[in-house]
A = this chain, B = another copy of it.
Amino acid sequence: MAATEASGAAQDEYDVIVLGAGPTGENLADRAHAAGLSTVVVETELVGGECSYWACMPSKALLRPVTSRAEAGRVPGLKDAVAGPLDAPAVLAHRDAVTSYWKDDGQVRWLDSAGIDLVRGHGRLAGPRRVVVDGERVLTARHAVAVCTGSRPVLPPVPGLAEARPWTSREATSAKSVPGRLVVVGGGVVGVEMATAWRALGSSVTLLVRGDGLLPRMEPFAGRLVAEALAEAGAYLRTGVEVREVRREAPGGPVTVVLDSPPGPGGPGGTPRDEIVADELLIATGRAPRTDDIGLETIGLSPGSWLDVDDSCRVTGVTGGWLYGVGDVNHRALLTHQGKYQARIAGAAIGARARGVPILETDPWGAHAATADRRAVPQVVFTDPEVASVGLTAAAAERAGYRTRVVDHDLGAVAGAFLYADGYRGRARMVVDLDREVLLGVTFVGPGVGELLHSASVAVAGEVPLERLWHAVPSYPTISEVWLRLLESYRG
């Protein structure tokens, strides 16, 4: 067995080399190993990756108390008990425990028990099938190298910004104390989640957004409902503004954010200019692939670029087809679960190809095609209200040329919802492909909808016809009964 041969520590030839030990790299290694391939993972930081230490895990640990308190606050007989502030030190301590105090012993043990080798250090490609770690150790791959290095936050080119050492998603999820005043720049998922968390933990929060609303890639009502809730929670939201300059006089001291509003009706030049002084500044405006220093140039690719891949996550245009780009680096869907999904598929494809089994990565929904990346990407935003969506928005479906019908329903009118929370506010939308009568996308916004999403994911990925969805009876009285209302509205 190749896997057994790989167990020697001095082994420098493997079937598969994985760059990056985040969830994507771990899952890819697991699948490759399960296919009987010797596998090594190269990691320069912590095994477990961004998700475990500076993203999903700590952010959810910060947010769960916020949503739980908000929900309890809408329940008769309990409202008064939770009217006070959250115990911030307890929340932060829990967050620390959830990240295993930023130590990766547990994950290293898992790799070990799974029979996967780990090489710590910075891995760079050095020509085909070859990786050099920290400029010293040379690893070669018989079958495949998988780049699973993920992405990093990008600071926009604003004067003074880098020097002011702002928070990125990393600092926002790992901060040890609650800033008095926090300015958040960016209205995407990181921006709204961290604004929600730190506001509830006690910060005075101002959220600055360049566009006209929050969560711009989702259905418009999602951003509207989250904006309303942030305002009610006491956060300030300013849309249509741009950061022109940032100043921090002394490390740890206050930071000044200088704003430009966009040109008003009077034309450019006459716009007001104002400044906000805060204790911390979080920049959450975009991400870049961690491919700038992994030796892409040695195989004719551009350093710092997103990797272009086919549906099996094999990088296109590489002679011999030995390079894979899995997870954030391929820019298909920058989400942990989607990276893991790709890893399962790419790992299976690597295994099949290594055995000489022909695979059809163009076979939709097959074992070797990450079809869901294009058709059924789910996402939950853990704000209050929660936002949960899968598949295409109405606008995206229209752009893609589908003949669609959009059906909306007020979640607050569903019995299960108003029993769940007094004064429940929320909304659901389904986007129907009229030609096939299947769902292209579904969005739920409201308290407690996070777990409801998977019903939509099964319906979208399963291409379950609407006619059959009538037989999937929602239990009464749950929020899920909105499914019935959506089907009724569609029937008209």
Interface residues of A (CB under 8 A from B): 23, 51, 56-57, 60-61, 64-65, 68-69, 71-72, 75-82, 84, 86-88, 90-91, 93-94, 98, 335-338, 340-341, 344, 365, 367, 371-372, 376-380, 388, 415-416, 419-420, 422, 448-455, 457-462, 464, 467-481, 483-484
CB distance from A175 to the nearest CB of B (A): 15
Decide if B477 touches A454 in the complex (CB within 8 Å): no
CB distance from A115 to the nearest CB of B (A): 16
Known: A81-B81, A451-B448, A462-B464. A379 touches B90 (CB 8 A): no
A473 to B23, CA, bound (A): 14
**In the complex, which residue of chain B has the Cβ closest to the Cβ of A467?**
B367
Decide if B471 touches A454 in the complex (CB within 8 Å): no
CB distance from A441 to the nearest CB of B (A): 14
CB distance from A370 to the nearest CB of B (A): 8
Decide if B458 touches A462 in the complex (CB within 8 Å): yes
CB distance from A439 to the nearest CB of B (A): 10
**In the complex, which residue of chain B has the Cβ closest to the Cβ of A62?**
B77
A477 CB contacts on chain B under 8 angstroms: 56-57, 60, 336
A56 CB contacts on chain B under 8 angstroms: 415, 476-477
Decide if B473 touches A453 in the complex (CB within 8 Å): no
Decide if B459 touches A462 in the complex (CB within 8 Å): yes
Known: A372-B473, A454-B452, A455-B455. A380 touches B478 (CB 8 A): yes
**In the complex, which residue of chain B has the Cβ closest to the Cβ of A418?**
B98
A144 to B345, CA, bound (A): 55
13 contacts between A and B (CB under 8 A): A57-B477, A68-B78, A76-B87, A76-B91, A77-B91, A77-B94, A341-B471, A365-B467, A372-B472, A453-B478, A454-B483, A457-B472, A458-B458
A68 CB contacts on chain B under 8 angstroms: 71-72, 75, 78
A469 to B471, CA, bound (A): 18
A481 to B27, CA, bound (A): 14
Known: A90-B76, A458-B458. A344 touches B470 (CB 8 A): yes
CB distance from A483 to the nearest CB of B (A): 7
CB distance from A134 to the nearest CB of B (A): 31
CB distance from A96 to the nearest CB of B (A): 10
Q: Which of B72, B336, B388, B471 contacts A372, CB < 8 Å?
A: B471
CB distance from A99 to the nearest CB of B (A): 11
Decide if B57 touches A415 in the complex (CB within 8 Å): yes
CB distance from A396 to the nearest CB of B (A): 18
Decide if B454 touches A480 in the complex (CB within 8 Å): yes
A378 CB contacts on chain B under 8 angstroms: 473-475
Q: Which of B60, B82, B86, B480 contacts A419, CB < 8 Å?
A: B60
Decide if B376 touches A475 in the complex (CB within 8 Å): no
A377 CB contacts on chain B under 8 angstroms: 473
Decide if A461 touches B471 in the complex (CB within 8 Å): yes
Among A60, A64, A388, A459, which residue has the most Cβ atoms of chain B within 10 A?
Answer: A64
Q: Which of B75, B90, B419 contacts A77, CB < 8 Å?
A: B90
A91 to B422, CA, bound (A): 12
Decide if B476 touches A454 in the complex (CB within 8 Å): no
A453 to B451, CA, bound (A): 9
A94 to B75, CA, bound (A): 9
Among A57, A76, A77, A88, which residue has the most Cβ atoms of chain B within 10 A?
Answer: A77
Decide if A472 touches B365 in the complex (CB within 8 Å): no
CB distance from A271 to the nearest CB of B (A): 40
A194 to B356, CA, bound (A): 61
**In the complex, which residue of chain B has the Cβ closest to the Cβ of A87?**
B77
